[in-house]
Amino acid sequence: MSTFYAFNRGMKIEFFNTARDDRPRGGFIVGDSLIYMIGEKSFHMALFNLDKVKQLELQSELFSRKIINLEEQNTLLREQIGAEQKAFQQLQLLSEEKSNISQDAIDRLHTFRRKGIFYSALLGLVGGALWIREGDGVPLQIGKPLAIAAGAVYLSFNIFN
């Protein structure tokens, strides 16, 4: 706001700029009234209550502060959403890793089971062959317990796995 003085009356006048388009606009505050000017030489006298003008200025300032606060809140919410999206993506990656690890463990268990069944069957065949041959001069009587142990191992792999 610029301050001007009216020389013919000696009264203090402050310039009030209200430019909205190409035409020069402005006004002068005289005492507690606003004299509104349109154009370069023509004056339109409109008296406004300065208290209302100041009140509108205060409301405008409050609204601008509210807009700034809302923009800050918007920024914070966007940051929070971004953080939540990152956390969700990490959770998805962990879930996929868990699924892959679980599937790997299941595959290993099935492989172990197949190998156990194969080796227990092989052990049972060897034990059965030795059991049959015990009477033919086999010095150790290991065939029967070996065949029983192989059967127990085979059953454990089929029942518990």
CB 13, CB 29: distance < 8 Å: yes
Q: Is the pLDDT of residue 117 over 60?
A: yes
Phi, psi of 27 (to 5 degrees): -160, 170
DSSP state of 137: T
Q: Which helix (H) or strand (E) holds 27?
A: strand 25-30
Tell me which of 140 and 102 has the higher pLDDT: 102
* Beta strands at 25-30 and 3-6: parallel, antiparallel or unpaired: unpaired
The pLDDT of residue 71 is 93
Q: What digits encode the pLDDT tens for the residues 50-68?
A: 566 677 788 888 998 999 9
Q: What digits encode the pLDDT tens for the residues 12-21?
A: 444 455 555 4
Cα 35 from Cα 27, distance rounded (Å)? 5
The pLDDT of residue 24 is 45
Lowest mean pLDDT among 81-85, 93-97, 122-126: 122-126
Q: Specify which residues 6 forms β-bridges with.
A: 11
